[in-house]
Each structure stands twice: as C-alpha cells, then as structure tokens.
Chain A
C-alpha cells in the first residue's frame, strides 16, 4: 500500500500586506506518484513548491512531509528534509565557477561524502542525462537544456524520495522540454515521487499524469482519464 508522502491540510499562504496566495488548500500525494502542478503565471505554483521544500512557512494549516509534521520544523532540521526532497529550479541555480561534475556532486559533498566516492556516481548520472562528454565544462559554456539536465543530475544524486521541479522546461525549447520530462518519468519509474510545476498546459496534457491545478487561491485535481475537476480534495 502506498504511503502519503506529502500532505497539505487546510493550508493558507499570504504575503505581507495580506496578499493571499491560496486559502485552505488540502491535498495528498502518495509515494511514487507523478503529478503536474499547473495554473496560470502568478497562481502560486512556485510558492506551493517552496512550502514543500521548506523555503516558506504557511500562514495557516499543517503540512506533513515524509510522515513528519513540518509546520513548526526547526531550521536545523531542514537539511534532513532537503536531502530527501530535491528541487529542480527554472533558472538551474548552478554554480558558474564549478564544472558540470563539481556541480553534480555538490549535494553529496555537503553531506560529507568525499569527492572520489561520489565522482563515479556523478559521471553515471551525467551519462544518464547525456552529458558525459561535458563533465569538465562550466555552465556558462552550456545551453539552457544542458544546464537543466545537469541540474536534474544534481537533484537526483542523493536519491531523493521526492523530486520537485519548478518550470523545468521554462527556459528550453519544446523538444528539449519533452526530453526533460522523460527523465522525470524514468526517475518516477524507479520510485521517486515527482511533482512538476508548469504553466504549459499542452506539455502537461502530452503525458497521462494527474494535475494539481491552482486557480483563484484554490487547488483542484485534474485526472487525465476523466479530466474531471475534484475541488478541495
């Protein structure tokens, strides 16, 4: 039986000045599932991912991650969750002065693993994303798609339980975008829970995965088979 890996319970988020992002949203994601998070620009997709990645605190409600209530998690406990929940950013967030290989090994190095021990694993991942030849290249010499693939390799090197991606296809062409989603599919097949935020409805519809749809401060689940709206799960 699949366990709940992410659970939002009546969660609200507002920015200073009482600017509401969403109100009382609830949903659950089961372990090993793949979801798209869709909605127009400014609907709060990034904010929702930031809540899961513990980069923001909810104004109200409870969030459970990996079975733990993180509503009042201490700052010192965040690294544990981030080692289990990886993030792929739209703007890649690679360190420009490090090579592709050095960027990929970084999360493991932060956990205290020696470079030599994680080097082979990183090279395997670079091979998996099709960039084994570029392991010594610096991000500034790579294309947007290549940078994003390095970012994906970096995100999965710790073998996370959850992979969050915020508009990963936002800075690449459609064809490259599709290839990136295939990489996420492969990860998902290996058991990683994947949540990909995109404003590109067409891209999301290319794949038969359920969508969490954010609109007017509310969230709804759009199932691919029925395209049925299930408000406030």
Chain B
C-alpha cells in the first residue's frame, strides 16, 4: 500500500476536510435541534395533558360570610376530596411566594404591588389522563366551595397545543431537509475532491497502478478526511454547547435543553451523526472512485 503517496498534500483539496467537518457539524446540529425541539414540545404536551390547576380566589374568601370558608379550614377539605378522586397522582399546594414568582416576569419592577396583590391560592394536580374523572372532582369541589375554579390546561391551551404539534412537524421537516442537504453536500464534496484528484488518478493508472490500489488509496484518503471532518464537527459542537450554556445561563424560563433531554438514546444518535456521516463519506468515495475508474481508458 502506498500510504505515503501524499495525495492529501494536493493544495487543491486543502479545504475539503474543513468543508466536510462543517457539513458534519451542521447535520449534527440539525439532529440535535430536532431532538431538543421534540423533547421540549413533547414534555410541554405531556404537562398539559397530565396537569390541572385548582384556583381558590382570595377575593371570594374576604367577601364570604361563611366562616367555614377560611383558607386554613378549606384547604384540608379540598385536598382530601382531590386525593380521593380517581386518577390523581400528585397534589401540590403552591405557597404565596411561588404564586408571586409566577407573576414576577410581568411585574418585574413593582415588587410592592406584587406582594400586596390578592393572589389566588393555587393547587397543582398531576393526573393520569386515562383514569382521571374531571366532572366528578368538579361536582365534589363545588359542594365544598362553589367559587373554586378548575383550570384544565389542555382545554385552555388547545390552540397552543395544536401549534406545538405543528411546530414539531415543521421542525422535523426543516431538520430532515437540512440533514439531507448536509448529506448531499458531503457526497458532493467527496466527489469534488475525487474530481480534483482526477488528474492524479489518471497518471497513477497510466503508470501501472491497478484499480484496487487506486481505490484503496482514495478510500484511505476519504477515511482521513472523514476523521478530520468528524473531529472538526465534534470540536464545533463542543464550542456550540458551551456558547449555548453561556448564553442561556440565568434564564430559568429557557433553561438549557440539556436539562430537558438529559441523556437519551436519541441524543446519543445525534452525537453519532459525524461518525455515521464519516462512514457515508467513505462509502460515497468508494462508489465515486469505482465509477471514475470505469470511465478511464480501456474500460
């Protein structure tokens, strides 16, 4: 094997590995963004389906003449009814400070107003959407306290819910197109790289090199390019991750997607994209070189 035949020294192909690396990076990024988007909208949809909120208006407590409507006596009763309702998984009563926190993005500079607002008491219920009986809970709760409101997020955000699904489909389409474009560009870059070397292939053939030797040599060249490209892609992904962590730090609302997706098999696949594309590139080089050799003399 003429491993020291320095076709990689050919200045015409100097930038090909970097182009390849960029394509691998973009494809990985596309896959990664799709996974993040999918997980983000998925968890959002899941939360909408599995959570409802009970709202006890504070104003109603002040105006009520019934002493039994005092919050300290009302809450245990409500809690008891909720816990006995089929399909309820978890119940959590939000403290006043947690309620204020929900409003804080809209009343940033008005802390005094925020503290003095008669905020309702919120009870968050995690439910099993298959077995949860909403009408039963509503009837039982209305008997205890008629002014209580059940906020079903799924109904409330039905349009946003559809929007989320549409965004998922859009993201999938966009990322698929992006991914395919990256693959096509990679294949094009591999073929272009071979065409740059066509003169060399021609000379090697005229000097008596067999097709097997030429094919092996160029496959090895493609392998080197694939390794260089994959390394470039990983370095760029690493830098992007750090940049994203830096940009999103302190934004709890947009907490960095890593915390949403954790480490899953699809993330692992996204990380494998440069390697898979490297194999695709070597395969593409093999096909291209075989086709090119067939076109050469005496075929």
**Chain A residues packing against B (C-beta within 8 Å):** 50, 53-57, 73, 75-76, 78-79, 82-83, 87, 89, 93, 95, 97-98, 102, 106-107, 109-112, 115, 154, 158
* Contact B298–A93 (Cβ < 8 Å): no
- Whether A109 lies near B5 (C-beta < 8 A) is yes
With A97-B10, A97-B11, A98-B6 in contact, is A110–B298 under 8 Å at CB?
Answer: no
Annotate B172-216 by CB proximity to A: 1 below 8 A, 0 otherwise. 000000000000000000000000000010011011111101000
- List 8 A-B residue pairs with CB atoms under 8 Å apart, sorted by A's residue number: A55-B297, A75-B211, A82-B206, A95-B203, A102-B6, A106-B207, A109-B2, A158-B208
Checking B6, B9, B208 against A79 with a beta-carbon cut-off of 8 angstroms, the contacting residue is: B208
How far is it, in angstroms, between the C-alpha of A154 and the C-alpha of B4 when the chains are bound?
17
Evaluate contact between B209 and A54: CB separation under 8 angstroms.
Answer: no
> Is B298 a contact of A78 with CB atoms below 8 Å?
yes
- The 8 A CB mask of B1-25 against A (1 = contact, 0 = none) is 1101110011100000000000000
For residue B247, CB closer than 8 A to chain A, the reply is no
Is B299's CB within 8 Å of the partner chain A?
Answer: yes
Among B5, B203, B298, B299, find the residue whose CB has the most chain A CB atoms closer than 10 A: B298
Q: Given the known A-B contacts A110-B2, A110-B213, are A56 and B206 also in contact in the complex, defined by CB atoms under 8 Å?
A: no
> Which residues of chain A come closer than 8 Å to B5, judged between CB atoms?
106, 109
Q: Which residues of A contact B210 (CB under 8 A)?
A: 76, 79
Chain A proximity mask over B209-239: 1 for CB below 8 Å, otherwise 0? 1110100000000000000000000000000
B208 touches A111 (CB 8 A): yes
State the Cβ distance, B252 to closest chain A Cβ, in Å. 56
Cα of A107 to Cα of B299 in the assembled complex, Å: 21
Once the chains bind, are B207 and A110 in contact (CB under 8 Å)?
A: yes
Determine whether the beta carbon of B298 is less than 8 Å from that of A115.
no
Contacts of A89 in B (CB 8 A): 206
Q: How far is the CB of B296 from chain A (nearest CB, A)?
A: 9
Tell me whether A97 and B2 are in contact (CB under 8 A).
no
Given contacts A50-B297, A54-B298, A78-B298, 17 further A-B contacts (CB under 8 A): A53-B206, A79-B209, A82-B208, A93-B203, A93-B206, A95-B200, A97-B6, A98-B6, A106-B207, A107-B208, A110-B204, A110-B208, A111-B208, A112-B2, A115-B4, A154-B207, A158-B208
State in angstroms the CA–CA spacing of A98 and B211 once bound together: 21
Q: How far is the CA of A25 from the CA of B207 in the complex (A)?
A: 27
Contact of A83 among B4, B208, B211 (CB under 8 A): B208
Complex alpha-carbon distance, A55 and B5, angstroms: 23
Whole-angstrom CA separation of A73 from B299 in the bound complex: 10
Q: SS class of chain B's interface: helix, strand, loop or mixed?
A: loop
B: number of interface residues (CB 8 Å): 21
Chain B's closest residue to A114 (CB) is B4
Which 3 A-B pairs give the minimum distances between C-beta atoms?
Answer: A82-B208, A55-B297, A110-B209
Which residues of A are found within 8 Å of B6, using beta-carbon distances? 97-98, 102
Return A123 CB to nearest CB of chain B, in Å: 17
**Which A residues touch B1, using CB under 8 A?**
112
User: Which one of A54, A106, A110 contacts B297 once the chains associate, using CB atoms below 8 Å?
Assistant: A54
A104 and B145 alpha carbons, distance in the complex (Å) = 98
Tell me the nearest residue of chain A to B208, going by C-beta: A82
Docked complex Cα distance between A55 and B202 (Å): 11
Complex: how many Å from CA A57 to CA B298?
A: 6
Query: Are the C-beta atoms of B207 and A82 separated by less than 8 Å?
Result: yes
Residue of B at shortest CB range from A102?
A: B6
Bound-state CA distance A18–B125 (Å) is 87
How far, in angstroms, from A102 to B298 measured CA to CA in the complex? 27
A81 and B206 alpha carbons, distance in the complex (Å): 11
Contacts of A53 in B (CB 8 A): 206
Residues of chain B lying within 8 A (CB to CB) of residue A107: 207-208
Residues of B within 8 A of A50 (CB): 297
Q: How far is the CA of A83 from the CA of B206 in the complex (A)?
A: 10
Q: When chains A and B are docked, how far (Å) is the Cα of A77 from the Cα of B10?
A: 29
The residue from B2, B11, B200, B298 contacting A56, defined by CB atoms under 8 A apart: B298
| Nearest-CB residue, chain B, relative to A115 | B4
Which residues of the partner chain B approach A109 to less than 8 Å between Cβ atoms?
2, 4-5
Chain A nearest CB from B70 CB (Å) reads 89
Please, how many angstroms separate the alpha-carbon atoms of A109 and B208 in the complex?
10
The distance in angstroms between the C-alpha atoms of A190 and B207, with both chains bound, is 21
Chain B residue nearest to A54 (CB atoms) is: B298
Residue of A nearest to B209 (CB): A110
Complex: chain A residue closest to B11, CB-CB: A97
User: With the chains together, A102 CA to B1 CA distance in Å?
Assistant: 15
Q: Which residues of B contact A93 (CB under 8 A)?
A: 203, 206
The chain A residue sitting closest to B9, CB to CB, is A97
The minimal Cβ–Cβ distance linking A201 to chain B, given in whole angstroms, is 28
Does the CB pair B298–A75 fall under 8 Å? yes
Closest Cβ of chain B to A117, distance in Å, is: 13
Q: A95 CA to B5 CA in the complex, in Å?
A: 11
Q: Which residues of B contact A106 (CB under 8 A)?
A: 5, 204, 207
CB closest residue in chain B, given A89: B206
